[in-house]
């Protein structure tokens, strides 16, 4: 049973996170190992395994990036072992520009930090929209490239947050 089936959801990039959380809590209550305290050792072990699978499925589906990777894996695209790098010269240039920008950014320059966050959020949102379109259209390779781009954007966000934290 795949993660979407476990929660009774359609396989889609765009899901209702509140509904996912509600279904997770309901399943968590039903499968919790404490409910099997008086059961056989085998049943206790199965309960622990099911709870672990449930938690893994929930963590995967609640994050848009891991959800997209999971959808691609269901379609036979293995993102974990893929050594392919992006061949998009425009995006590679944007990466270099972001790197230079982060190197010169001071965490106490709040206007520059806010502008960087805003631009990063706008670019990330545009990539997420492109990813959703690609996944809906079954364009798995472009979707995989967009996931790679989003991973870079996610890393940039963490670095930007680190710069801000170090200034405080």
Domains of the chain: 3-62 (1.10.287.110), 89-167 (1.20.1280.20)
Is 70 exceeded by the pLDDT of residue 82? no
Q: Please indicate whether residue 81 or residue 18 has the higher confidence score (pLDDT).
A: 18
Sign for the pseudo-dihedral over CA of 111, 112, 115, 116: negative
Q: Give how far Cα 156 sits from Cα of 74, 100, 108, 128, 152, Å.
A: 28, 12, 18, 15, 6
Is 60 exceeded by the pLDDT of residue 81? no
- Mean pLDDT for the chain overall: 89
Q: What's the token pair of residue 36?
A: 């099997």
Is 70 exceeded by the pLDDT of residue 85? no
């Amino acid at each position: 049973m795949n993660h979407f089936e476990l929660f009774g959801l359609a396989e889609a990039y765009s899901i209702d996170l509140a509904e996912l959380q509600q279904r997770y809590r309901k399943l968590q209550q039903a499968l919790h190992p404490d409910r099997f305290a008086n059961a056989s050792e085998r049943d206790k072990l199965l309960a622990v395994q099911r709870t672990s699978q449930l938690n893994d499925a929930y963590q995967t589906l609640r994050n848009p990036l891991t959800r997209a990777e999971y959808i691609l894996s269901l379609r036979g695209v293995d993102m974990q072992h893929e050594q392919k790098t992006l061949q998009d010269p425009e995006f590679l240039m944007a990466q270099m520009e972001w790197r230079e920008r982060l190197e010169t950014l001071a965490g106490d320059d709040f206007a520059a930090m806010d502008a960087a966050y805003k631009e990063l959020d706008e670019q990330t949102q545009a990539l997420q929209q492109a990813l959703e379109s690609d996944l809906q259209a079954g364009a798995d390779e472009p979707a995989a490239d967009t996931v790679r781009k989003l991973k870079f954007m996610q890393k940039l966000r963490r670095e930007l947050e680190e710069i801000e934290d170090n200034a405080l």
